């Protein structure tokens, strides 16, 4: 029966290997013994008697009671992702941003302090720089690659530390173990946005972080269909910090989206391995091109933090950022000449997608700030998909000729 809401991996699950967990973890079969995970499109649940309803509200029994709190399809996704992440607990959310806000908003109250790296996804930066300060939280930003800046910022008591590694779009890394040590000494909870790292290639919890957040819109769905998010970490911490935010603010993943995501997890590692191999091949080809000024991919020896990337990642992701020798008009001619790669600001899709950060995702930054991040008019962020890498390369080659 489907009354088991509580999440803790069973002993059997703990012994299983990753590829098995990807297709089996968290499965809850109904009395119909269906093969595939079922989609429970229901807002409520019925009680056999009034006493059980009372016991449920007193939290004396844990069972499904209302889909803002939990839903069997959502539980299957949460448990499967937790198993893959090696986390005690996962809470699913309807978007990546609600995952970020559920954690940071849940951790911080007026008078608290958050230290974050500057190189954040735009809306994550807005939460730290605008939303939290309106409620009396002090936000301090550092260059995430510079341990001295972290040390200085964390020399006073701090509530939360937040960073993304690798960052968007410049693919700079933060040393998770070193920053976590400094953060813990300052009393802070370490929250890592692991979207670019991906659940396969980067395991921040194993390097000392306390909480991992995902936009499952990206590689977890990986097929450009739905929005979703997730928060992972210790059961005790998330139960206190994240569970009330999700329940009370209604930051609830829909059963339909959870069903898409739980099935996506079955193939996620296969997709990611193939896409990362394609990304490396494309990055290496870009490095050989005279019309390309610079190529950034953590798996290249030329990446300034290649050593750190090898230390804390087991693969280097699906995004390659490069700069062509062109002004804005030249860059637009290249983008418009592409026949296969689509112009889109999404990423982590099976289809290769390209964006021009200076005029889209990073248009809020001043020319000075962009130069600081080494984003110029010729910079492009390419999310490499599952197409044949030779077709991607030929598409780029033909488009460069239009420059």
Angle at 60 between CA 59 and CA 62, to 5 degrees: 65
Cβ proximity to ligand PLP: between 26 and 197 the closer is 197
How many residues belong to the chain?
403
The enclosing H or E element of 72 equals: helix 72-85
Closest distance between ligand PLP and the C-beta of residue 264, in Å?
14
Closest distance between ligand PLP and the C-beta of residue 257, in Å?
11
Cβ proximity to ligand PLP: between 180 and 198 the closer is 198
- Exposed, middle or buried: residue 351 (CB in 10 Å: 0-12, 13-18, 19+)? middle
The token duo for 99 is 């995952």
- Exposed, middle or buried: residue 14 (CB in 10 Å: 0-12, 13-18, 19+)? exposed
Question: Residue with the closest Cβ to ligand PLP?
Answer: 96
Partners of residue 114 on adjacent β-strands: 139, 160
Residue written as token pair 């600081």: 372
Closest distance between ligand PLP and the C-beta of residue 194, in Å?
8
Cβ proximity to ligand PLP: between 229 and 357 the closer is 229
Cβ proximity to ligand PLP: between 220 and 326 the closer is 220
Angle at 266 between CA 20 and CA 79, to 5 degrees: 75
Question: Is the distance from CB of 86 to CB of 21 less than 8 angstroms?
Answer: no
Closest distance between ligand PLP and the C-beta of residue 173, in Å?
14
Cβ proximity to ligand PLP: between 195 and 386 the closer is 195
How far is Cα of residue 92 from the mean position of the Cα atoms in its chain?
12
Residue ranges in contact with ligand PLP by CB under 6 A:
95-97, 121, 124, 164, 168, 193, 195-196, 215, 217-218, 227, 229
Closest distance between ligand PLP and the C-beta of residue 181, in Å?
23
| Nearest Cα residue to 27 out of 246, 16, 44, 239 | 16
Closest distance between ligand PLP and the C-beta of residue 209, in Å?
15
Rounded to whole angstroms, the Cα distance separating 154 from 133 reads 18
Cβ proximity to ligand PLP: between 123 and 374 the closer is 123
């Amino acid at each position: 029966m489907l009354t088991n809401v509580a999440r803790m991996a069973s002993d059997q699950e703990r012994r299983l290997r990753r590829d098995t967990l990807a297709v089996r973890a968290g499965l809850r079969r109904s009395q119909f013994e269906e093969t595939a995970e079922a989609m429970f499109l229901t807002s409520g649940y019925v009680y056999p008697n009034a006493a059980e309803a009372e016991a449920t509200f007193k939290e004396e029994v844990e069972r499904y009671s209302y889909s803002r709190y939990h839903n069997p399809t959502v539980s299957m996704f949460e448990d499967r992702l937790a198993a893959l992440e090696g986390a005690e607990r996962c809470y699913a959310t309807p978007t990546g941003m609600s995952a970020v806000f559920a954690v940071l908003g849940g951790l911080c109250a007026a008078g608290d302090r958050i230290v974050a790296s500057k190189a954040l996804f735009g809306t994550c930066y807005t939460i730290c720089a605008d939303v939290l300060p309106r409620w009396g939280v002090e936000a301090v930003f550092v260059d995430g690659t510079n341990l001295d800046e972290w040390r200085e910022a964390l020399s006073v008591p701090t509530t939360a530390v937040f960073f993304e590694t690798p960052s968007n779009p410049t693919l700079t890394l933060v040393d998770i173990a070193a920053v976590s040590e400094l953060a813990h000494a300052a009393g802070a909870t370490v929250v890592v946005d692991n979207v670019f790292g991906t659940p396969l290639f980067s395991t921040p919890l194993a390097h000392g972080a306390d909480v991992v957040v995902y936009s499952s819109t990206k590689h977890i769905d990986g097929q450009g269909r739905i929005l979703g998010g997730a928060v992972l970490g210790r059961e005790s911490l998330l139960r206190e910090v994240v569970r009330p935010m999700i329940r009370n603010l209604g930051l609830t993943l829909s059963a339909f989206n959870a069903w898409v995501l739980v099935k996506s997890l079955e193939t996620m590692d296969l997709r990611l391995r193939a896409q990362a191999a394609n990304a490396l091949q494309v990055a290496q080809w870009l490095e050989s091109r005279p019309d390309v000024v610079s190529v950034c991919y953590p798996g290249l020896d030329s990446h300034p933090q290649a050593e750190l990337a090898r230390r804390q990642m087991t693969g280097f992701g699906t995004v390659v950022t490069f700069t062509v020798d062109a002004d804005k008009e030249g860059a637009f001619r290249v983008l418009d000449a592409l026949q296969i790669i689509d112009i889109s600001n999404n990423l982590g899709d099976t289809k290769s997608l390209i964006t021009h950060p200076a005029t889209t995702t990073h248009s809020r930054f001043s020319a000075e700030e962009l130069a600081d991040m080494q984003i110029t008019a010729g910079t492009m962020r390419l999310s490499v998909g599952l197409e044949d890498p030779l077709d991607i390369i030929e598409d780029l080659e033909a488009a460069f000729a239009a420059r």
